[in-house]
Amino acid sequence: MSRTLSPLPQHQALVDWIRSKEPEVWAWQSDAERLTQDAEEVRLSLLRDSYRMDAEGHPELFAEIRAAQEALGLSEIQVHAYQAQGRTDPNAAICYLPGEAHLIFTGPILTLLSGMELRAVIGHELAHYLLWQMGDGAYYLADRILHQSAAHAQAEPSHIQSARLWSLATELFADRGSYQATGCLETAVASLVKTSTGLAHVSGKSYLSQAAEIFSKSKPKTEQLTHPETFMRARALQLWVEEGADLDAAVALMLEEGEGLDELDLTQQVRLTALTRRFLEQHLRPAWFRSDAVLAHARLFFPDFKPAEVADEALLTELLDLSKARREYLCQVMLDFCAVDPDLDELPVAAGIEQSRAMESLGHFEKLATKELKVKAKDLKRLKEQSATLLAQAATNPTP
């Protein structure tokens, strides 16, 4: 069964971010003359470092290349094949040039795989090409920008995480190309396992069961930098082939959210910033909380800040779905508003207690209040017992 190959949501979000936030960088990378110069360097490097194969000398290989091209709708491009020198690990890679795909095979991969498994590997590599030419080359430009930014000496953690997320998502997209080239999930998975293990005989069906068992016992997240763990790739491909309703959410769970704030990529920063704003709009919604000092401090976060007028019913569920580290970050945000206006006395701490209790982070807020605000243990105990009552009383006398 054939499926339509489309960029993952992670791809689209990062392309949109770069285009909107860094238009000058986007325009610079789009320069046609620069791309032409790079192309000549790539061709020369391949000739120096590998053995170029042709259809006359390797008819079986080129038969699989043509079959994969046709399956992915890339019959019009030129595909060149090379065997790399000096590497022993079985693998494959691709160099992209406009209108040309250069496949590089390493180690014994050409003898390790069956014909259909080789087609799957070729489909995987050609899917990279397919992605990079989508959107008039937008995904290729994003790939270059993200990886060059991550390699820069002054790269921020968000740049590194964005390049990492892009690479991980791209491998899952390319795995779909393996299936597209063969029409067989088990063959695509077998080629993946053979390449990663070097084994000559594997069962794709057995490995899919192994991956399902892992996911039935845990909610794993990838710890890799460029390629997700093999069992995750097998599972993600199966969900895509079977058109699982929770596909995007399952992939996001595998790839995206780590524990700390340093693990935010560029798009996650945008989402967390938006969530922080919603959080403050709700937290400062009570009339008693809207003092001039409090609102002035909130506008240091968001210059056009205004407290919400109605309740955000979905917010608490979203907060509970956050990682522990992200909820603790929101506790620290609340702490800022506990000390900014002394005239509010204990009410901001009481509000912080109730909110942190609701989002299951009360212990962390208590530690912050004790350490940063110097709240005594007996006073904190009293506030924990009386916070709901104090806030209800304040609601009847809303003047800040």
Predicted local confidence at residue 6, as pLDDT: 96
**Helices 230-241 and 157-182, axial angle in degrees (round to 10):** 60
Predicted local confidence at residue 322, as pLDDT: 87
| End-to-end alpha carbon distance in the chain | 64
Torsion of CA 374, 376, 381, 387, to 10 degrees: -50
CA pair distance 352, 365, nearest whole angstrom? 7
Predicted local confidence at residue 258, as pLDDT: 62
DSSP calls for 11-65:
HHHHHHHHHHH-HHHHHHHT-HHHHHHHHHHHHHHHHHHEEEE-TTT-HHHHHHH
Instruction: Read off the tokens for 17.
Output: 């971010």
Instruction: Read off the tokens for 230.
Output: 């093999």
The secondary element (H helix, E strand) that includes residue 152 is none
Cβ-based neighbours of 332, under 8 Å, separated by 6 or more: 368
Predicted local confidence at residue 257, as pLDDT: 60
Tell me if residue 103 falls in helix, strand or coil.
strand
The secondary element (H helix, E strand) that includes residue 311 is none
Q: What is the pLDDT tens value at each position of the chain, 400 positions in all? A: 567 899 999 999 999 999 999 999 998 888 755 566 677 888 888 999 999 999 999 999 999 999 999 999 999 999 999 999 988 899 999 998 888 999 999 999 999 999 999 999 999 999 999 999 999 999 999 999 999 999 999 999 999 999 999 999 999 999 999 999 999 999 999 999 999 999 999 999 999 999 999 999 988 888 888 999 999 999 999 999 999 888 999 999 899 766 667 778 999 999 999 999 999 999 999 999 999 999 999 999 999 999 999 999 999 999 998 888 899 999 999 999 999 999 999 999 999 999 999 999 999 999 999 999 999 999 999 999 999 999 999 988 766 5
Tell me if residue 306 falls in helix, strand or coil.
coil
Give the bridge partners for 84, in sequence order. Answer: 50
Query: pTM for this structure?
Result: 0.86
CA pair distance 41, 98, nearest whole angstrom? 14
CA pair distance 273, 279, nearest whole angstrom? 10
Torsion of CA 107, 109, 111, 113, to 10 degrees: 160
